[in-house]
Amino acid sequence: MEAQSESCKDGRTESDENPVYAKKMAETKRGRPNPKHKEFWRLHKEEQLKKMMVGEHKKPNKLEQRLIDLINRNGLQFRYVGNWELLVGGKCPDFVSVGDKKRLIELFGDYRHTVKARETAEERAAHFKQFGYETLIVWEHDLRDESRILEKIRASADGQ
């Protein structure tokens, strides 16, 4: 990496020798992003986000796997889409109902979603509500009582 920052004989850096890179850097330094790039992202934001996240090979974590197993064992009408299979307004929910009702389940870990949270459960549910989805928030500590969670999920699926 240091070789890239070394100066050439005439005082330019090696990155200056690449005209495409130098142009992009100059545009960034002046604070003007490439308008074509900005327009492309405006038109294809969800598609591009999905491609980026699929490239990260996101798989269900242990907590999500526990809820997947619970849903499958009890024949609940939800499926896992937290692998960026579904995007709703640029955000990826964890589970979606397979019926005609627009219902989501968001699984929140106790540590990650309290200490390191970027958004609250209410903000996340409000975001999905804009697109017509009702969202059930399930917390990690709730999974200790499977019968209670099953009751909550069934009630959510029935629209209660």
Give the DSSP letter string of the chain: -HHHHSB-TTS-BHHHHSHHHHHHHHHHHHT---HHHHHHHHHHHHHHHHHHHHHTT----HHHHHHHHHHHHTT-SEEE-TTTT--BTTB--SEEESSSS-EEEEEE-TTTTTTS-SS-HHHHHHHHHTTT-EEEEEEGGGGG-HHHHHHHHHHHHHT-
* Residue pLDDT, tens place only, 60-79: 889 999 999 999 999 999 99
Our CA angle for 73, 77, 78, nearest 5°, is 90
Model confidence, pTM: 0.64
Query: What is the Cα 106 distance to its own chain's centre?
Result: 11
87-112 pLDDT, tens per residue? 898 888 999 999 888 999 999 987 65
CATH topology of domain 62-158: Endonuclease; Chain A (3.40.960)
Q: Residue 30 above 70 pLDDT?
A: no
Q: Domains of the chain: which residue ranges?
A: 2-55, 62-158
